[in-house]
Structure 1
Amino acid sequence: MTGERERTYHHGDLRRAILTAALDVIATEGPAALSLRDLARRAGVSHAAPAHHFKDRTGLLTAVAAEGYALFADALTGAPDLRERGVAYVRFAATHPAHFQVMFQPDLHRADDPDLLAARARATDALRAGVADLPSAGRGEDDRLAGVAAWSLAHGFATLLLSGNLADAMAGRDPEEAFRSLAALVFAPEDGRGR
């Protein structure tokens, strides 16, 4: 009895174990398949234990999104320019597909969560810093539209890559190199030549 009780209530880092199990489920089956009861079973704890850390499914998905945005901000921060931020975006999506799925579905998480807001703000700042480096920066609304264009290109490419829709077009090509070429086409200097 004592052994079962300890296994059920003294897990070590239960929060991390539940997050890791959730990421596995999301990566293989999608966010809709997520269940706190199933995650508790996978972690070998009582069905009520995950609620202690996350309250409910939305709380768990909010934690996944906040962790994802923090990792995303770290990945973007080291990139020297807008094109390499796009490459970092694609690399992040490929290496963290479960985070990526949840981060950009705001209906899955609590929009007012302080950890999520802080991590998202860091990621947004890192993305905007790349746009500030463009030769045409400082044009007001054009900067905003350039940011939307860059985000659309990176996000669209990453989404198509993860969903398998680029398999034929890529034909074994490295996704990061393919994105660099694509970005050079779209964000070529005004004289028409790539960087």
Structure 2
Amino acid sequence: MTPATAERRRNYHVGNVRGQLLVAARDILHESGRGGLSLRAIADRAGVAPGTVYYHYADKAALLSGLAIDGFRQLADAMREAYDAGPPDGGLRTTGMAYLNFLREKPELYELMYDALDEGRREDVTAAEAEAFAVLRQAIMAEFAAVHPPEVAHKIAEAIWAWGRGIAVVALSRGDRGCGPKDEAVESAVRGLEALILRR
């Protein structure tokens, strides 16, 4: 056991082991990519015995689903904060930029989130994505309330959500592994969407 691991084991709080495991997994993902996410490595980073992981998560897939849920909640928070800090009529730009900035800054986590959503078919992961989409939907519907009925604004929000996923797939497939889209690509994508939807 390394001194750092021993120190973490002395300091961990029993009631928050699940959270500590997610933080450890998130740090490893950021530093080493998904290849570094072994349960032993996560346990070591969190400062707990390997067997402790199985007390909180049935297997590695369950832990990664927990990481995906945490990622969708981070995305929801980022979009919510951007929308709340922006102009009342700027829902498309503020939430869109927050979404793409999340992708740019956390590409490995973003990929894991959607892999967990597409492959795991877990209701809790689906609910977490819905929570993030609800933030964007609220912002878009508020922005378009004066020009479109609610059902049309809702469809616009769904289209924008799908557009964001499409941009992510293209950006991640063309970029270096572990890297999100560049600043100019993010800005260009948002401007293009504004031109299409807002007719600017």
**Above 0.5 in TM-score?**
yes
Query: Which residue of 168, 178, 195 corresponds with 2:188?
Result: 178
Aligned counterpart, 2:107 = 97
Greater gyration radius? 1
Aligned counterpart, 1:153 = 163
Give yes or no for the alignment of 1:12 onto 2:12: yes
CA contact (8 A) 2:104 2:182 kept: no
Partner SS state of residue 55, structure 1: coil
Aligned pairs (5 A) from 1:103-182:
103-105=113-115, 106-109=117-120, 111-113=122-124, 116=125, 119-132=128-141, 133-134=143-144, 136-138=147-149, 140=151, 142-165=152-175, 174-182=184-192
Aligned pairs (5 A) from 1:12-51:
12-13=12-13, 14-27=17-30, 28-30=32-34, 34-43=37-46, 45-51=48-54
With over 3 angstroms needed to count, the CA separation of the structure-2 counterparts of 1:21 and 1:163, relative to structure 1, is farther
Q: For residues 76-133 of structure 1, give each alpha carbon's deviation from its aligned partner in whole angstroms, at most 9, with x where no partner exists.
A: 11324113211111011122223311222224546233xx465434312112113312
> C-alpha distance in 2, partners of 1:9/1:99?
26
With over 3 angstroms needed to count, the CA separation of the structure-2 counterparts of 1:149 and 1:165, relative to structure 1, is farther
User: Normalising by the residue count of structure 1, what TM-score does the alignment of the two structures yield?
Assistant: 0.71
Percent identity over the alignment is: 26
**Larger helix share, 1 or 2:** 2
Q: For residues 13-45 of structure 1, give each alpha carbon's deviation from its aligned partner in whole angstroms, at most 9, with x where no partner exists.
A: 554443234224444433x76321332244454
> C-alpha distance in 2, partners of 1:36/1:107?
22
Query: Which residue of 64, 68, 71 corresponds with 2:71?
Result: 68
Q: How many residues align?
A: 178
What 5-or-longer segments of structure 2 have no aligned partner? 84-89
